[in-house]
Structure 1
Amino acid sequence: MSLPDRFSLLVLGQGTTGLDVVSWALRHRGDRVDSITVYGGGSSSPTEKTRSLEASGVEFVYGTELVQGSYDVCVASPGISEFSEFFGSARAASVQIMGEPEFTWRLSPQRWCGITGTNGKTTTTSLTQHLLRSSGMAASAVGNIGMTAISAVDSRSQGDWLVAELSSYQLATTCELHPRVSVLLNITPDHLAWHRSHDNYARAKISLFKNMDKDDLAIVDVEDDGINAYRDQIFVSGRRVLSVSFEDPGTADAAFVRDGVLTVRLADDETSLVSAGELKIFGHHNVINALAASAAALACGATAVGVREGLKVFAPLEHRVEPCGELDGVRYVNDSKATNTDAVLKALTAFPQDRVILLLGGHDKGTPLDEFAEQVAAQVGAVVCFGEARERFRHALEETEGASDIDIAVASDLCDAVDVARSLAGRGDVVLLSPACSSFDEFTGFEERGRRFKAYLQELREHAAEVEMD
């Protein structure tokens, strides 16, 4: 169902996404939009920003999740579950209800590349945009990466690709969204409170492909067990799928490593790119991310020369296996974005020859830890468990067979964990902050956690320099 030529608009949520939709609607009031109503949610209240928008003619309703009235189009913010009473109330009051990416796609459907997965979305989205720009193409990274798609739609240049990082929240309510190139990196249990079940979560991810056909390209990591559990819903008749794996999968469309060189095959036409050793992003998972991004960029029209040059210079993103320098001969790495166990295991592949002291902890997601603890114990030299989740992680590790060979320590908070890690580390070791938890016991988000980690390291360096001068 297309958007009406003119419509009354309901927006659910007054966070960044909701207010970005409102800003777009204000620019188009009178030509596309007749009225703009925002329901902020049960705990909402006026802010300086909403008061300013109210003065511009936007109606705000605070402190309730019972939507009243009738609307042509509703755009729901991603934090509002489709299973919530709030969403259901809005659905009943609206002719159409959708998320912001779906809304934006209907306004401007050309040249979309969609990227999703439990882990690796931001790196792969940023790298795909980078490879397109290295080829001289116009491309904007939008979606869950930071800038909403609706913020970019009015300024899109002719031929500009929107490379959209799409979360399960954003995909759950899509209907007509139809990227021409899409990437699914992995599926591991996450966000189960929002989706109610792992199956709902996985199906939301897979829905990225539902409108794609033989003229498009769906890119999937066939090494991933979570994806392979849904193969029959991904590899369907009439859809063109490219398989990503470290070994050549032997399909007409594939991305893999041959003799150490990243290689992409599109319709049996192969392009050799760069050696895995030339990448500045490390670990098996980042080789897979680079293969997926390269395949996506080439499918969008990037040149082989541009992709090669782009791969060589792309650096790790902040909080994603980000090198933070040395202190007393020990390397420190910030992987604060690793808020689930699968992300931690992927990060550890970046250090196959190193003794790693792993910092685990934060706000406990309640994820099962038995198998995770076994894999951690087999790969690290020591673990420091910190924050709210520290005792559950400590207990899981101590109960793991083989854990007697590693040091297991506890710390109250992040800075204390760094201090404990320093006492366990020797020259040449790696201290890896890859917490497997959200940060909300101590910080406002993984970004604040990662920056505090780096800031504390700098404080320690400065103190060491002062002592040396004395």
Structure 2
Amino acid sequence: MELRGKKILVVGAGKSGISVARFLVRRGAAVALTDTRTKDKFNGELDDLIDSGVQAVLGNYPEVMPGTFDMLVVSPGVPPTVPPVAAAMRHGIPVTGELELAYRFARAPMVAITGTNGKTTTTALVGEIFRAAGIHTLVGGNIGLPLVDVVEGYGPEDMIVAEVSSFQLETARQFRPRVAVILNITPDHLDRHGTMEGYIAAKARIFARQGRGDITVLNYDDPRTRMLAEATGGQVIFFSRRHNLKEGVLVLQGRIVVRLEGRETDIAAAGEVAIPGGHNLENALAAVAAAFALGVKPAVLAHTLRTFPGVAHRLETVAVKNGVRYVNDSKGTNPDASIKALEAFDRPIVLLAGGRNKGSDFTELARLAREKVRVLVVLGECADEVERAARQAGCGEILRARDFREAVLTAHRAARPGDVVLLSPACASWDMFNNFEERGDLFREIVNSL
């Protein structure tokens, strides 16, 4: 992809957009960066870009017409319906994203991981496995580090492990990872994709250009994911914690086992996986499938599964105080993620739930909460929806909080020794925070100050 001298508009001045603008400047492009936020909202974050020659169009979008720009690069959080993107598509101006841009300049093989839930944990685990195997490994993408920042520092002998979201995959065109992993697909982001079919189609773009030499790792236990085996051109490796697969990665008599090409390889006891919960066992199976397929030895896999502690904001134990365990699961941004979090514990739970709904239904979460949750603290933009579902399901004590700090303190007062106070909101954080990390950090700060 030749960028020198090209007029390129970057739409969205978040972390991804700023990284893209820097990358394009380094490549000699004439860059404009646009965002609906005004300059005073950025606290000087854009000053170095402007000094390097980037034109900042802030507060409103520039008009996109034939001849104004050679290409648009759209940040993941920007929907394709915004005026500059819609206009570019109408006029035949190429539209791409940071993931596609990074891929075009990548020289290392890539393992790309997507799914509604478990992406960050699995990406971090796969990265840890390759590092333990002595391979120079980049872990980035939707996990927090834009790939364009560092992708050029990795060569053919190295490895890139990328968490990719449905938003990033929308603009993927030539993207073709050596290994594509889909962990699961449950309703999420329907406010963006419109229908489950649209959401599934976006996820499936992860393997759209794969061929016979590539590998697609799919969750056999998830029907929507299993069905995608018919659509990929890559070699399919299933993983399952419930079925005795003839071929794939499975749990057999309490052991994680790989069955491929007529051979059976024992990896480790399922109970030795350090990260808690059945969903994390599934994540571990997916990680084993991806790494084993690329030649990582069983001993390395076993060691990493036993020692990997998990990631921040995903079932992260913050503290144990007066017999109460405080757990930060701020990354639980949809009901299915929060269901998995509830299933990970076998003691009474005080649950903090609520935020911005992304088009989800809370019925199933409320049904499980009736069995597992002793006290439910609801908060945020969709507190009414969460409370209504909980009352219809017959949940017990339900408390309301006006803001996040009050919610944590309310949960603290309601907790008894032996309880788990669990922040797993089942919602996005955007009504009160910039992202789920900010929400989880505040939870940690409040808990530690109790």
Normalising by structure 2, we get a TM-score of: 0.92
| Map of 2:26 onto structure 1 | 27
**Letter of the 1:108 counterpart:** A
Pair 1:310 & 2:304 matched = yes
Q: Which runs of 5+ in 1 are unaligned?
A: 30-34, 461-470
Supply the distance in 1 between the matched residues of 2:7 and 2:244 (Cα, whole angstroms).
47
The match for 2:64 among 53, 56, 67 is: 67
1:104-143 correspondence runs (5 A): 104-108=102-106, 110-143=108-141
Supply the distance in 1 between the matched residues of 2:11 and 2:254 (Cα, whole angstroms).
49
When residues 53 and 390 of structure 1 are mapped into structure 2, their CA distance, relative to the original with a 3 A threshold, is closer
**Letter of the 1:360 counterpart:** A
The match for 1:321 among 315, 326, 330 is: 315
| Map of 1:437 onto structure 2 | 427
| Map of 2:351 onto structure 1 | 358
**Letter of the 1:334 counterpart:** N
Q: Give the CA deviation at 1:433.
A: 1.1
Question: What are the superposed Cα offsets for residues 402-446 of structure 1, whole Å, 9 maximum, x if unpaired?
Answer: x3xx33333333333333334443322211111112223333322
| Map of 1:243 onto structure 2 | 238
| Map of 1:17 onto structure 2 | 16
Percent of paired sites with the same residue:
36
1:442 is paired with a residue whose SS is: coil
Pair 1:55 & 2:51 matched = yes
Q: Give the CA deviation at 1:267.
A: 2.8
| Map of 2:225 onto structure 1 | 227
| Map of 2:280 onto structure 1 | 286
Q: Which structure has the bigger radius of gyration?
A: 1
2:267 is paired with a residue whose SS is: strand
When residues 419 and 76 of structure 1 are mapped into structure 2, their CA distance, relative to the original with a 3 A threshold, is closer
- Contact between 1:12 and 1:18, CA under 8 Å: does it hold in 2? yes
- Contact between 1:362 and 1:437, CA under 8 Å: does it hold in 2? yes
Supply the distance in 2 between the matched residues of 1:220 and 1:79 (Cα, whole angstroms).
26
Pair 1:368 & 2:347 matched = no
Q: Give the CA deviation at 1:109.
A: 5.1
Q: Which moves more between the two structures, 374-383 or 183-192?
A: 374-383
**Letter of the 2:426 counterpart:** A
Aligned residue-pair number: 445
1:381 is paired with a residue whose SS is: strand
When residues 242 and 7 of structure 1 are mapped into structure 2, their CA distance, relative to the original with a 3 A threshold, is farther
2:21 is paired with a residue whose SS is: helix
Supply the distance in 2 between the matched residues of 1:382 and 1:49 (Cα, whole angstroms).
42
- Tell me how large the CA RMSD over aligned residues is: 2.3
When residues 410 and 70 of structure 1 are mapped into structure 2, their CA distance, relative to the original with a 3 A threshold, is closer
- Contact between 1:178 and 1:212, CA under 8 Å: does it hold in 2? yes
Pair 1:267 & 2:261 matched = yes
Question: What are the superposed Cα offsets for residues 348-392 of structure 1, whole Å, 9 maximum, x if unpaired?
Answer: 1211x2122222123344522223311221233332223333333
Pair 1:389 & 2:382 matched = yes
When residues 330 and 42 of structure 1 are mapped into structure 2, their CA distance, relative to the original with a 3 A threshold, is closer
When residues 365 and 98 of structure 1 are mapped into structure 2, their CA distance, relative to the original with a 3 A threshold, is closer
Supply the distance in 2 between the matched residues of 1:267 and 1:236 (Cα, whole angstroms).
22
Supply the distance in 2 between the matched residues of 1:81 and 1:378 (Cα, whole angstroms).
38
1:440 is paired with a residue whose SS is: coil
- Contact between 1:111 and 1:162, CA under 8 Å: does it hold in 2? yes
**Letter of the 2:61 counterpart:** T
Question: What are the superposed Cα offsets for residues 307-351 of structure 1, whole Å, 9 maximum, x if unpaired?
Answer: 111111100211100012211111111111111101000111211
**Letter of the 2:339 counterpart:** L
When residues 448 and 12 of structure 1 are mapped into structure 2, their CA distance, relative to the original with a 3 A threshold, is closer
1:80 is paired with a residue whose SS is: coil
Q: Which runs of 5+ in 2 are unaligned?
A: none
| Map of 1:171 onto structure 2 | 169
When residues 73 and 249 of structure 1 are mapped into structure 2, their CA distance, relative to the original with a 3 A threshold, is farther
Q: Give the CA deviation at 1:275.
A: 1.7
- Contact between 2:335 and 2:361, CA under 8 Å: does it hold in 1? no
1:28-47 correspondence runs (5 A): 28-29=27-28, 35-45=29-39
Normalising by structure 1, we get a TM-score of: 0.88
Supply the distance in 1 between the matched residues of 2:237 and 2:389 (Cα, whole angstroms).
38
**Letter of the 2:259 counterpart:** R
Supply the distance in 1 between the matched residues of 2:93 and 2:433 (Cα, whole angstroms).
40
Supply the distance in 1 between the matched residues of 2:57 and 2:410 (Cα, whole angstroms).
49
2:153 is paired with a residue whose SS is: coil
Question: What are the superposed Cα offsets for residues 125-153 of structure 1, whole Å, 9 maximum, x if unpaired?
Answer: 00000000111111111111111111112
When residues 429 and 43 of structure 1 are mapped into structure 2, their CA distance, relative to the original with a 3 A threshold, is closer
- Contact between 2:244 and 2:251, CA under 8 Å: does it hold in 1? no
When residues 84 and 354 of structure 1 are mapped into structure 2, their CA distance, relative to the original with a 3 A threshold, is same
When residues 93 and 331 of structure 1 are mapped into structure 2, their CA distance, relative to the original with a 3 A threshold, is same
**Letter of the 2:239 counterpart:** V
| Map of 1:417 onto structure 2 | 407
The match for 1:300 among 264, 269, 294 is: 294
Supply the distance in 1 between the matched residues of 2:431 and 2:81 (Cα, whole angstroms).
26
1:395-414 correspondence runs (5 A): 395-401=388-394, 403=395, 406-414=396-404
Question: What are the superposed Cα offsets for residues 202-226 of structure 1, whole Å, 9 maximum, x if unpaired?
Answer: 1100110111222211011122244
Q: Which moves more between the two structures, 210-219 or 55-64?
A: 55-64
**Letter of the 1:379 counterpart:** K
- Contact between 1:72 and 1:94, CA under 8 Å: does it hold in 2? no
**Letter of the 2:122 counterpart:** T
2:442 is paired with a residue whose SS is: helix
Pair 1:256 & 2:250 matched = yes
